Every structure is written in structure tokens, then in C-alpha cells.
Amino acid sequence: MPEYQYLSGFGSHFTSEDARFPNALPEGQNSPQKCPYGLYAEQLSGSAFTAPRTENTRSWLYRIRPSVVHQPFQRFDGVAPFLRGTGWEEQHPNPNQMRWNPFDLPADAKEVDFVAGLHTVCGAGDVRARHGLAVHVYLANSSMKDTAFYNSDGDFLIVPQQGPLDIMTEFGRLYVKPNEICVIPQGIRFTVALEGPSRGYILEVYDGHFRLPDLGPIGANGLANPRDFLTPTAHFEDRTVAGYRIVSKFQGALFVATQGHSPFDVVAWHGNYVPYKYDLARFMVINSVSFDHCDPSIFTVLTCPSNRPGTAIADFVIFPPRWSVQEHTFRPPYYHRNCMSEFMGLIFGRYEAKEGGFLPGGASLHSMMTPHGPDHRCFEGASNAELKPERIADGTQAFMFESSLSMAVTRWGEETCQKLDARFRVG
């Protein structure tokens, strides 16, 4: 396995250069007349130039060849036929609770890479208006070969469920295992190598970028700590390749251009617009130690805020192993109707409120104001259990993509995949 080196921190301004090219970063300026080693300076902006400093994101890349050296983009039809970014009206609205059995991996006889394996389950908004989100799953069994991908529409938050992802980005290499996540911000090119059949979930946001939630009265520390987020160090390849493919997701459709070299030729970089990964086991859980429930927002790892204060386009929430100690309290998640949309997935284990049909690699969707809560078996057990301190969710990692937008399910999600559990009515 290659060596992976990381920089620690969230939202930091990093500098990194490949050790093979010492002093590749220009001294004291971003775009000198001549860069060291004859490199090309290129800025990648993740926000408007005039965005407030606290929200301004950009990085400078110093590369062997500029990104502009490629042939024109052409439509890349038929590659990921179930990928969506617009057209949420293809199905009639359905407010019912939905639960999916584990999504099928590709048959061994057919090679399917990360891009070809993208399937959209649900979403809302419009990529052209830069407002909304989409939930995808990836179902793949082969590595991307001489192909890089970037998303012009928004950020990808990737949640592996089966199989690790070896991701090469313009900023360096990420190795992301199940129970870890990674974020690839808008526009950053990457390629994915697999070690076998792989499945996972993706939360895509169009509005802005993911950030750490505010802590309010929790104070300065807790939940996902900034030091635990890891950004790759510079690592380049200078490789001539005839017909190297650059795949772009643009306005929900795929386009492809060819060029004669690998795009991962960034020798050095600096800035705060970067890919990163996070180990969910490092989340610092906060919960009630007396009675009743804290709101599930205390389990938020990352958020993409909307323009309404305190309201998110999307939150990424986890339900990790923890102690449960509340007195005279019904301890599982309570019955609930909500002005948010809740898409849940299970990485491994048995989720405490739905131990029956909610399986790793599957999912559920509770739409706005649709009642949901624990199943009958869970209710009876928790209502009559002895209330002593106990560990819950050991060996389990469930998560939720929660949004203030009302999400529509795609035809693939409701019909084509044939994984929707018709027996699921309540819970």
C-alpha cells in the first residue's frame, strides 16, 4: 500500500509540496513571472473573490501542465444512466415512509467504476440555481483507469459502506475506509481505485460548502473536533497518457474531454479549499445524563447552512456507540413528525430503533411531516426495560442526511432498483 500523509485541521490555510521538488512553492507571492521548476500557477476558487474572509475559500496549485490543456468536452451519455441533478418531477410525489433493502453490487462479469456506479436516490432544488442537494449511492467493482472526475455542481460528502476507497486528488492521496468519510469540494479532480466490490452513500450539496456546526452553549470543544480532519499532502505524477479522460458532472449531466497527460501533476499547493477525510470513531458524543432526549442535532458532524439562520440545506448526522443513562425516560428515538427530510443509511451493525429490516447498505427516507419512530418490538422492549446505564450501538454506525428541503425520489429509487421494501409501513 502506498504511503499516505496528511495535514491536520479543518478550514485551515495549509501549505504542502512534494518532497521530490523542494522549494516548489513561490516565496512571498502567488503568481510570479516564472514559477520554480517552470511550473504553472493556477488558482482554484471555491467562493466568490469578494466573499467575506471567514467564508472565502481558494487554493493555489503549482502544476507541471495547466488544467486548460485538454480537448473540448463532449456529452458522455449512457455512462451513469441513473445519475440525476435536475428533473425531480419524473415521479409522482410520495409522502410515505420508504425503506430500501441493501442496494445490489454490480455483477462480477461487468466492470463498473465509481462514476459509472453513481445512482441518484432522491434530491431537491436546481443545480443551475446553485440551490439544493442530491443523495446518491455508488455501486462499483473496478478502479477508474486513466480517468479523472470532477463535480461542477457541488460538494460530494462520500460515506463508504463496503470496501475502502483509494482516492487520488489534485492535492494528494486519501485512503478512506468504512466508518470514515471524505469530502471532495466542487471542482476538485479525483480518481478512485478499489480493492473489490464497493458500495457507499453520497450527499451532494449545491449551495455552498460543508462546515463544522456551531457549538453554542456546548462551548469550545466537542462533537467533531477540527484537529481530527485530515487533508492530503502534495503528491504528483508526471505521466504522459494518450486519451486520458476528464469527466465533468455539469448541470446534472456528464461530459468528457481527453488530454495527453494525468491531471494529478500538482507539485505543490497552498490554501484552504481542499479535500479532506474524517474518522467517525473520533466523534465526541454529547448526550443527556439526567432525563429526556437532547435533540439529535447534537450528533451533527458537518453542516451546509441555508440562508435562514439555524436551518441547513443538509446536515450529516451520525448515531455512534455511546452510553445511555437517562432516568425515567423512553431511551430510543421518540415518535416524531418533522419539518425536515431525513434520509438514513447504515454502515454496519443494527440500528437501535429499527433492528428488523434496516440493514447495512440499505436506507430509509422519512419525508416532511410523515410520522416515524421506533418499531413495535423496540417500543415494547424500551417501555419495560430496567433503566440502568447501558452501552448502546456498539458495533453499529448509522447516519442521517437531514435537509430543510422536501426531497423527491427518483424513478430508479422508487422502481428501477427494485429494493424498496413494500412491507415497510411504519417505524
Q: Choose between 241 and 87: higher pLDDT.
A: 241
Q: Is 40 annotated as a binding residue?
A: no
The secondary element (H helix, E strand) that includes residue 335 is none
Return the amino acid letter for 147: T
The secondary element (H helix, E strand) that includes residue 28 is none
Q: Is 372 annotated as a binding residue?
A: yes
Q: Choose between 223 and 334: higher pLDDT.
A: 223
pLDDT beyond 80 at 403: yes
**Rounded average pLDDT over 370-382:** 88
Mean pLDDT is highest, among 149-153, 291-295, 331-335, for: 149-153
Q: How many Å apart are CA 322 and CA 190, to the nearest integer?
A: 35
Q: What is the pLDDT at residue 425?
A: 53
**Rounded average pLDDT over 333-355:** 88
Q: What is the pLDDT at residue 375?
A: 81
pLDDT digits (tens, 9 = 90+) for 308-325: 999 999 999 999 999 999
Question: Helix (H, G, I), strand (E, B), or coil: what is residue 147?
Answer: strand
Return the amino acid letter for 60: W
Q: pTM for this one? A: 0.96
Q: Is 351 annotated as a binding residue?
A: yes
Query: Could you give the C-alpha distances from 109 to 105, 106, 112, in angstroms and in order?
Result: 12, 8, 10
Q: How many Å apart are CA 421 and CA 342, to the nearest integer?
A: 17
Q: What is the pLDDT at residue 355?
A: 59
The secondary element (H helix, E strand) that includes residue 411 is helix 411-411
Q: What is the pLDDT at residue 87?
A: 78
The answer to whether the beta carbons of residues 285 and 297 sit under 8 Å apart is no
**Sole residue written with cell 447501558:** 390
pLDDT digits (tens, 9 = 90+) for 101-110: 999 999 988 9
Q: How many Å apart are CA 43 and CA 61, to the nearest integer?
A: 6
| pLDDT band, very low/low/confident/very high, at 16 (cuts 50, 70, 90) | very high
Q: What is the pLDDT at residue 13?
A: 97
The answer to whether the beta carbons of residues 275 and 189 sit under 8 Å apart is no
Q: What is the pLDDT at residue 356?
A: 61
Mean pLDDT of the chain: 95
Within 39-117, strands assigned E span 40-45, 58-63, 74-75, 98-100
Q: What is the pLDDT at residue 377?
A: 85
| pLDDT band, very low/low/confident/very high, at 424 (cuts 50, 70, 90) | low
In 3-state terms the chain splits into helix, strand, coil percentages (rounded to 5) of 10, 40, 55
pLDDT digits (tens, 9 = 90+) for 27-69: 999 999 999 999 999 999 999 999 999 999 999 999 999 999 9
pLDDT digits (tens, 9 = 90+) for 173-187: 999 999 999 999 999
pLDDT beyond 70 at 72: yes
How long is the chain? 427
Q: What is the pLDDT at residue 426?
A: 44
pLDDT beyond 90 at 376: no
pLDDT beyond 90 at 244: yes
| pLDDT band, very low/low/confident/very high, at 427 (cuts 50, 70, 90) | very low
What are 62's three cell numbers?
A: 503549482
Q: How many Å apart are CA 40 and CA 51, to the nearest integer?
A: 26
Q: Going by C-beta distance under 8 Å and a sequence separation of 6 or more, which residues neighbour residue 9?
A: 226, 227, 229, 231
pLDDT digits (tens, 9 = 90+) for 325-334: 999 999 988 8
pLDDT beyond 80 at 358: yes
Q: How many Å apart are CA 231 and CA 214, to the nearest integer?
A: 21
Question: Helix (H, G, I), strand (E, B), or coil: what is residue 218?
Answer: helix
Q: What is the pLDDT at residue 317?
A: 98
Whether 293 is catalytic is yes
CATH topology of domain 6-96+107-280: Jelly Rolls (2.60.120)
**What are the residue boundaries of the structural domains of the chain, listed by start?**
6-96+107-280, 283-415
Q: What is the pLDDT at residue 354?
A: 62
Q: What is the pLDDT at residue 261?
A: 98
- Out of 131, 270, 293, 376, pick the active-site residue: 293
Q: Going by C-beta distance under 8 Å and a sequence separation of 6 or more, which residues neighbour residue 369?
A: 95, 337, 338, 339
**Rounded average pLDDT over 6-31:** 97
C-beta atoms surrounding 414 within 10 Å = 19
The answer to whether the beta carbons of residues 222 and 284 sit under 8 Å apart is yes
Q: How many Å apart are CA 167 and CA 60, to the nearest integer?
A: 20
* Superfamily for the 283-415 domain: Jelly Rolls (2.60.120.10)
Query: Could you give the C-alpha distances from 205 to 36, 134, 186, 405, in angstroms and in order?
Result: 37, 7, 9, 11
Q: Going by C-beta distance under 8 Å and a sequence separation of 6 or more, which residues neighbour residue 34?
A: none
Q: How many Å apart are CA 283 and CA 89, to the nearest integer?
A: 37
Nearest to 347 by CA among 286, 425, 407, 400: 400
**Rounded average pLDDT over 128-141:** 97
Q: Is 336 annotated as a binding residue?
A: yes
Q: What is the pLDDT at residue 318?
A: 98
pLDDT beyond 80 at 423: no
The answer to whether the beta carbons of residues 160 and 232 sit under 8 Å apart is no
